[in-house]
């Protein structure tokens, strides 16, 4: 997890003061992930009980969709919080660098989601 | 899970005799799903510990990828087992119907994965 | 569905004589691809006219979706034609090998679509 | 194209002054789209010449990938330009509203790409 270490001091300070973008919705994320965990366990049960492959695939698609929704929420909060936070850095030089880092991180993360 | 109920008697018989396509790899699927379940739990832990959103997104992408691999395995086995099984039905009328059902099921499942 | 009765010993021969799974819908595929080509040209025009990036993205998503639909049609016809054709091969040894080849091809193609 | 109409006057002003995020790379985008258009035409040719379905699917996957790369570039430039532009709006009230609009637009666009 070197990503965080690479971010400029300015944005790290901002993060420290404000928490992460998803912090406000932390409980909602934990609930969603708990539900996804249960869905994965349900798929294992279906395999164990020799359920029909197509029905298992339907459940796998549902979990993938639920994970996409979680990703999208995190990306939105990264943009609205980390990118915008970087753009609010008062020192112009630090700001330009911080924006570059945060936008690049967002684009890389979205690229990984698309693959 | 009405899908199975809709399948013709012929293919259900074939399924009963031969087991599902994934049955031979059942233990491997259960291990993979166990690992995915653990990964989802790990993501919840990251959220709970306020880890950096981009690092969480990286883990979510990894789980999505692992689920895609499971899906692909199930689709491959559905094609190699259920579609091929339907094509081996001796009665030509039942065969044509069984093939149609199984190919349609495969295409629908793949369509759901692509969305 | 006469596919199975029509396939001959060597599925390659069958392909040569009967054309591919998508041949029956060839005109429809050509029309869809023509439309997609026009959509791509439309996106280039939007870029050229400095249209808003989000509106361009919406169009790119529409083209991606249209390509997915084409892919799905081709996969369905590959399964219903090439895989089923392989399963109809009378020689059991050739049949097993032909099925393996066609199922593997289908799974690889679907895997590329998912990535 | 109501999206643009919905954007606040503040961000529209910013857009007017700075051009769109992708403007600097306009020629590169036009070249890439030209190449994608040619690839789509190549796929139509393959269908017309009854090429093997799997080879056509490989080409469709390549075009989808190329479109994803274009999308990702546009998203990155939207974030680095439009979102950051909104965050630079001096009036705090206009700024908060402009950020909300731009972040929401980005998330919606990414969501459409993921589907």
Distance CA C46, CA B30 (A): 49
Nearest C-alpha of chain A: how many angstroms from B78?
Answer: 7
**Cβ A105 vs Cβ A11: under 8 Å:** no
Which residues from A are below 8 Å from D when comparing CB atoms? Answer: 68, 71-72, 75-76, 79-80, 83-84, 87-88, 99-100, 103-104, 106-107, 110-111, 113-114
B-chain residues within 8 Å CB-CB of A37? Answer: 37, 40-41, 44
Tokens 């994803």 belong to D68
Nearest C-alpha of chain C: how many angstroms from D3?
Answer: 7
Summarize pLDDT for B30-59 with one digit per residue, the tens: 999 999 999 999 999 999 999 999 999 999
Return the ∠ at Cα B19 (arms to B14 and B25), rounded to 5°: 145
**Cβ A105 vs Cβ B54: under 8 Å:** yes
Question: Residue A17: is its pLDDT beyond 60?
Answer: no
State CA A46 to chain mean position distance: 28
Give the count of domains, chain B.
1
Classify residue C13: in a domain, yes or no: no
Distance CA C21, CA A56 (A): 28
Distance CA D109, CA C60 (A): 10
**Cβ C73 vs Cβ B73: under 8 Å:** no
Question: Residue B20: is its pLDDT beyond 90?
Answer: no
In this complex, the chains that touch B, judged by 3 or more CB pairs closer than 8 A, are A, C
In this complex, the chains that touch D, judged by 3 or more CB pairs closer than 8 A, are A, C
Among A11, A52, A86, most B C-beta atoms within 10 A, so best to mutate, is A52
Classify residue A11: in a domain, yes or no: no
Classify residue D39: in a domain, yes or no: yes
**Cβ B89 vs Cβ C88: under 8 Å:** no
Classify residue D67: in a domain, yes or no: yes
Classify residue D1: in a domain, yes or no: no
**Cβ B62 vs Cβ B39: under 8 Å:** yes
**Which phi and psi angles does B88 have, rounded to 5°?**
-95, -5
Identify the residue with better confidence: A18 or C37: C37
Classify residue A6: in a domain, yes or no: no
| CB atoms C51 and D112 under 8 Å | no
Classify residue D108: in a domain, yes or no: yes
3-state class (DSSP) for residue D114: helix
Nearest C-alpha of chain A: how many angstroms from D88?
Answer: 7
- Tell me which chain D residue has its CA closest to the CA of residue C106: D54
Rg (CA), chain C: 19
Question: Residue B4: is its pLDDT beyond 80?
Answer: no
Q: Is the pTM of this model over 0.80?
A: yes
B-chain residues within 8 Å CB-CB of A70? Answer: 60
Domain that holds residue A90: 23-114
C96: domain CATH number is 1.20.58.1000
Classify residue A33: in a domain, yes or no: yes
**Cβ A54 vs Cβ B109: under 8 Å:** yes
Summarize pLDDT for C18-42 with one digit per residue, the tens: 467 788 899 999 999 999 999 999 9
Distance CA D32, CA B18 (A): 50
pLDDT at D19: 59
């Amino acid at each position: 997890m070197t990503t965080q270490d690479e971010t400029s001091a300015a944005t790290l300070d901002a993060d420290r003061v404000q928490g992460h973008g998803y912090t406000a919705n932390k409980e909602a994320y934990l609930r969603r992930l708990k539900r996804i965990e249960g869905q994965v366990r349900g798929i294992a049960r279906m395999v164990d009980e020799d359920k029909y492959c197509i029905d298992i695939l339907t459940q796998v698609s549902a979990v993938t969709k639920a994970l996409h929704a979680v990703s999208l929420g995190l990306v939105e909060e990264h943009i609205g919080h980390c990118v915008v936070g970087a753009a609010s850095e008062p020192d112009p030089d630090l700001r330009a660098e911080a924006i570059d880092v945060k936008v690049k991180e967002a684009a890389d993360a979205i690229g990984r989601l698309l693959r």
